[in-house]
Structure 1
Amino acid sequence: MSNVLRIALVDPNDASRNQLKGMLVGMDTVWLEADCSRYEFYPDVVEQTNPDAGVIALDANPDKAIELIQRLSTSAPETSLLAVSESTDGHLILRTIRAGAKEFLTLPLTKEELSSTLDRISQQKFGANEGGSRPCEVIAVAGATGGVGTTSAAVNLGCVLAADPQNSVALVDLDLALGDADVFLDSIPDYTLADVVQNIARLDIQLLKRSLTKHSSGLYLLPRPVELHDTESINGDSIRKVIGLLKASFTHLVLDLSKTYSQVDIAAMQCASRIILVTQLDLPCLRNVVRLMMSFEEMDNLQDKVEIIVNRAGLDSGQISLKKAKETLGREIFALLPNDYRTMVEVRNNGVPLIIQAPKAAITQSIRDLAAKLDSKTHAPAEEKEAAEKPVTNKWKKFWPGAAKA
């Protein structure tokens, strides 16, 4: 798991408390463990949750808040206390610091100021990190059509990433009706995505982890709902919240999308840092890639996140050449996954990932190479990223009827 700073907040003022909650929930490396509206209840909250940091708003009653800080600095010394107030009075600031607060922040507060302060607290708690805090890499895996191997790519990529002891990886099955990531891992989960969505307001880190099923590879799975009617509670907003919670708990999050490109899928792609678009070298798939890329241009530049992966490369016949495909799409192919039908059938039917079932197979090595390439591109220097992201002159418009006339 990432070095997540667990926070408990107290503020009797509803407006400022909600504003602070919104800022904290939006941070990748922060988990809001609890929020409280009464100073007198806050010591019990701290005792029960044992947070890394406590955020205490002073303005409702400065004297009572400072007494609370003084009490907690003795009873919970492992919790770093941060005071927030609209006041800039020097005497108040001095009293607060003397009471035991590590930081004093002035409202209204910017996200940058809060983030900088929490980074300092995190370094004190977890030690300095040469690369800074490690954000969660969210990888959405989508398909150009059904049956191209999206789920097998998502599951096996997740297992390869999870094999690295420095990573903590979760896979979310967003094919709400027909998803089968649990079958690929031979798992019978106790909880599903529907359970998490329905209880999202009450979740903490421990409950969230218990809601996931851990595979022997180290990969955590959050499967699709069991009953079709359970999908009704899942929408774009709820998926954004689930992803936000998971980002605070894992270094990598793999999202296995459906083939419908629903609002849930679009929300997931918008939250993702990378989108893997799985295709094959045939006419229907390439036409769909063109359609999707044209649509992604109009969706907050989703196309900038997309990497095209060719699955089942090397089929004996019937495939369009890789050169022709690249010319048609007007961009490079990010990775090739070789055709190995026999191995993949065994993997799916046995419910065992490639790294366990066939660790030396070419398809397994290709998945390892894909994971390494994704990681290297994520951590590439800024100038290399800029060069890599320079647009390629697109020739695909001639491939789509009517587009060249527009």
Structure 2
Amino acid sequence: MSNVLRIALVEPNDQNRESLKAMLLGMDTVWLEADCSRYEFYADIIEQTAPDVGVVALDADPERAIELIKELSANAPDTSILAASESTDGHQILRTIRAGADEFLTLPMSAEDLSSALLRVGQQKFGMTDSGSRSCEVIAVAGATGGVGSTSTAVNLGCVLAADSRNSVALIDLDLALGDADVFLDAIPDYTLADVVQNVARLDIQLLKQSLTKHSSGLYLLPRPVELHDTEAITDDSVRKVIGLMKASFTHLIIDLSKTYSSVDMAAIESASHVLLVTQLDLPCLRNVVRLMMSFEEIDGLQNKVEIVVNRAGLDSGQISLKKAKDTLGREIYALLPNDYRTMVEVRNNGVPLITQAPKAAITQAIRDLAAKIQGQTTTDETGEEASAAAGSGGGWKKFWPGATK
């Protein structure tokens, strides 16, 4: 698990509480364990959840809040206390610190001030530093059409990342109707995404881990629901909450999307730090890549997160040349995964990942290279030159779609 701080907040003022919650939920290195609107209930919440940090807003009743901090300091010494107030009165600040607060923050606070305070707490608890703390990399794996190998890419990428002891990795199967990530891992899960969604408001990090299925590679799996009717409870909002909780629990989160690009899929895509769009070098796939990239242009910042991964490269029959595909798309190819049909059929039917079944195969090395590239290591393209994220303005690919040029 990454060094994530679990936080419980108390602020009786509804507007201020929502503002603080929004700020906390926007940080990758914290998890909002609980929020409370009454001082009198907060000590019980601290006892039940044992968070790393308690954020106490003073202004609704400064005297009661300071007494609460004194109580928490005595009864919950493992929870660091951050006090927050609009007041800059020196006497009140001194009383608050003497009561046991570790930090005093002035409201309204900026995200930078809050982040700095939490970093100082993290340094005390975990020895975290700016360079040592890790936020979660969320990798959404999408397919240009069905059958291009997006699930095999997602599963095997997850297993390669999980093989590194410095990483903690989870995979969500978001193909709600027909997902088969569990088949690739020969797993029979006790819980599914539907179970987690139904209980996400009550889950903490420990219960979340218990709801996941851990593979021998170290990869944690959250599979799609068993029954089709269970998919109805899974909404874009509930998926965002699950992703938020899992971001606080792992260094890498891989999301295997469906091919419908529904609102649930798009919620996952917008939450991602990388979007791997898996395609093959044939006309239907490349046309779909064009169509998807045109749609992604409509969402701020999304197109810059999308990288093209060509699967089954080297398949001779009917493939468009790599050069023509790059010229048409107006983008570099982020990764090439070679065609190895026999090996892929074996790993799928045996429910064993590539790194176990075929550790020396070219396809396995290509997945390792993809994992290294995602983690920031420089790789080279097929010409031996360093690959860039994109080439040109993207105007070339628009010629592939009727009516797109202006």
The residue that corresponds to 2:332 in the other structure is 332
For residues 247 and 291 of structure 2, the distance between their equivalents in structure 1, rounded to whole angstroms, comes to: 30
Partner of 1:199: 199
> Which residue in 1 is equivalent to 2:383?
none
For residue 258 of structure 1, give the secondary structure of its aligned residue in structure 2.
coil
Counterparts of 1:399 and 1:64, CA distance in 2: 66
1:55-74 → structure 2 map (5 Å cutoff)? 55-74=55-74
1:313–1:337 contact (8 Å) kept in structure 2: yes
Partner of 1:402: 403
Q: Distance in 2 between matches of 1:18 and 1:296?
A: 30
Which residue matches 1:224? 224
Equivalence for 2:88: 88
Shift of residue 396, structure 1, vs aligned partner: 2.0
Change (3 A) 1:144 1:66: same
Which whole-Å CA distance do the structure 2 matches of 1:50 and 1:99 have between them?
19
- TM-superposed deviation, 1:104: 1.0
**C-alpha distance in 1 between matches for 2:239 and 2:87:** 38
Please give the secondary structure, in 1, of the residue aligned with 2:20. Answer: helix
Amino acid across the alignment from 1:139:
I
Alignment correspondent of 2:382? none
Question: Could you report, residue by residue, the CA deviation over 1:337-369 in whole angstroms, capped at 9, with x for unpaired residues?
Answer: 111111111111111111111111111111001
- Decide whether aligned partners of structure 1 residues 89 and 390 sit closer, same or farther in structure 2, where only a CA change above 3 A counts: farther
1:333-348 equivalence runs, <5 A:
333-348=333-348
Q: How many angstroms apart in 1 are the aligned matches of 2:52 and 2:265?
A: 34
The DSSP-based 3-state class of the residue aligned with 1:399 is: coil
Change (3 A) 1:336 1:389: closer
Deviation at 1:66, TM superposition (A): 1.4
Distance in structure 2 (CA, Å) of the matches to 1:343 and 1:94: 67
Instruction: Report deviation, 1:84.
Output: 1.2
Alignment of 1:210-359 (within 5 A): 210-359=210-359
Equivalents in 1 of 2:296, 2:6: separation in Å? 36
SS at match of 1:343: helix
Pairing of 1:3-152 with structure 2 (within 5 A): 3-129=3-129, 131-152=131-152
Q: Is the 8 A contact 1:26 1:244 kept in 2?
A: no
Instruction: Give, in whole Å, the separation in 2 of the partners of 1:363 and 1:388.
Output: 22
Describe the superposition over 1:279-319 as per-residue Cα deviations: whole angstroms up to 9, x where unpaired: 11111111111111111111224211111111011113211
Q: Contact (CA 8 Å) 2:329, 2:394: kept in 1 or not?
A: no
Cα deviation code 1:43-68 (max 9, x no counterpart): 33323322211111222322222122
How far has the Cα of 1:402 moved from its partner? 2.6
- The amino acid that maps onto 2:399 is K
What percentage of residue pairs aligned between the two structures are identical? 79
> What residue ranges of structure 1 are gaps of 5+ in the alignment?
379-384
Query: RMSD of aligned C-alpha atoms?
Result: 1.9
Instruction: Name 2:161's counterpart in structure 1.
Output: 161
Q: Does the CA-based 8 Å contact 2:331-2:389 persist in structure 1?
A: no
Distance in 1 (CA, whole Å) between partners of 2:211 and 2:26 is: 22
CA contact (8 A) 2:194 2:225 kept: yes
Where does the alignment leave 5 or more consecutive residues of structure 2 unmatched?
379-385
Q: Which of 150-159 and 313-322 deviates more?
A: 313-322
State the 1:393 CA deviation. 5.5
Give, in whole Å, the separation in 2 of the partners of 1:40 and 1:401: 64
Question: Could you say if the C-alpha distance between residues 398 and 59 of structure 1 is closer, same or farther in structure 2, counting changes exceeding 3 Å?
Answer: closer
Provide Cα deviations, 1:142-182, integer angstroms capped at 9, x if missing partner: 01110000000000000000111110111011111100111
Per-residue deviation, 1:115: 1.6
Contact 1:331 1:394 in 2 (8 A): no
Q: Deviations for 1:219-254, whole angstroms, at most 9, x for unmatched residues?
A: 011111111111111122221111111111111010
Q: What is the one-letter code of the residue matched to 2:340?
A: D
User: Per the alignment, in what secondary structure is the counterpart of residue 259 of structure 1?
Assistant: coil
Count how many residue pairs are aligned between Structure 1 and Structure 2. Answer: 399
Contact 1:281 1:322 in 2 (8 A): yes
- SS of 1:376's partner is coil
User: Does the C-alpha gap of structure 1 residues 66 and 116 become closer, same or farther in structure 2, counting only changes over 3 Å?
Assistant: same
The TM-score, its normalising length taken from structure 1, stands at 0.93
Determine if contact 1:141/1:255 at 8 Å carries over to the other structure: yes
TM-score normalised according to structure 2 size: 0.93
CA distance in 1, matches of 2:19, 2:182: 38
1:164–1:393 CA distance, 2 compared to 1 (3 A): same
- Relative to structure 1, is the Cα distance of residues 393 and 109 closer, same or farther in structure 2, using a 3 angstrom cutoff? closer
- Give 1:87 shift: 1.8
